[in-house]
A and B are shown apart, each in its own frame.
Chain A
Amino acid sequence: QVQLQESGPGQVKPPGTLSLTCAVSGASISSNYCWTWVRQPPGKGLEWIGEICPGGNTNYNPSLKSRVTISVDKSKNQFSLKLSSVTAADTAVYYCARGGLWRFDPWGQGTLVTVSS
């Protein structure tokens, strides 16, 4: 059974960098899947942030592309998200999910990150 677990600081000061990690268990991060980040501002809908796919290929939301970096750490079987120059608008629950095969499944439980000085 594949499980994902997000971790990282719950608060970030603007205009700093938000950094989160997603630990994967039950599957190899090197398998033939993409690994995805999605966020959800409080009371609002889901927004796709980006993904890292086999071979290290990355795809990002065009509206966030200039600020986002997604990377993989094979030695720890985890992947990470970095979002720079954060503002209050980046306050959200951040989810990681396994992508590939044209679906996102399963998802992590999510972690709330608040951007505030």
Chain B
Amino acid sequence: QSALTQPASVSGSPGQSITISCTGTSSDVGGYNHVSWYQQHPGKAPKLMIYEVTNRPSGVPDRFSGSKSGNTASLAISGLQAEDEADYYCTSYTTSSSWVFGGGTKLTVL
């Protein structure tokens, strides 16, 4: 199985909005609504930010939102804050009864 495709990096200024894409195939992202997003700060474990495409766990700010169209899922962050600077990973369930991660996106808050 091939990794999902994410941009290597995105950036934005405080207060701005950014979107991170996650492109797969009909065998993963396009075939299921089982897409989740994780935030990882340097040296830390990943943290769940979005699950089942659009759902936010309790404690995650509503500045974070998810969506999906066809084989591409997206994570949007509005009102960027310095603490949002981190690596972000998407993951999807697959037709092989396995999970595949994206390559990760480094978010820089300018």
Instruction: Name A's B-contacting residues (CB within 8 A).
Output: 38, 45-48, 50-51, 59-63, 95, 101-110
Q: Which of B66-110 contact A (CB under 8 A)?
A: 89, 91, 93, 96-104
The answer to whether B98 touches A107, judged by C-beta atoms less than 8 angstroms apart, is: no
Quick check: A105 and B48 within 8 Å, CB to CB? yes
Candidates A48, A51, A107; contact of B100 at CB < 8 Å = A48
Distance between Cα atoms of A45 and B104 in the complex (Å): 6
Closest A residue to B3 by beta carbon equals: A45
Closest 8 CB pairs of A and B: A103-B51, A105-B48, A107-B45, A48-B99, A45-B104, A102-B34, A46-B101, A59-B97
In this assembly, does B14 line the interface, its C-beta being within 8 Å of a C-beta of chain A?
Answer: no
Q: In the complex, A68→B51 CA distance in Å?
A: 27
User: Is the Cβ of B93 less than 8 Å from the Cβ of A107?
Assistant: no
Nearest-Cβ distance from residue A90 to partner chain B, whole angstroms:
17
CA distance A14 to B38 in the complex (A): 32
Complex CA–CA separation, A9 to B34 (angstroms): 34
Residues of chain B lying within 8 A (CB to CB) of residue A107: 45-47
What chain A residues lie within 8 Å of B57 (beta carbons)? 103, 105
Question: Are the CB atoms of A46 and B51 closer together than 8 Å?
Answer: no
Nearest opposing residue in chain A for B46, CB measure: A107
Known: A102-B51, A104-B38, A107-B47. A46 touches B89 (CB 8 A): yes
- Listed by A's residue number, 22 A-B pairs whose Cβ atoms lie within 8 Å are A38-B46, A38-B101, A45-B102, A45-B103, A46-B38, A46-B46, A48-B91, A48-B99, A60-B98, A61-B1, A62-B1, A62-B96, A62-B98, A95-B46, A102-B51, A102-B93, A103-B51, A104-B36, A104-B38, A104-B91, A105-B51, A106-B48
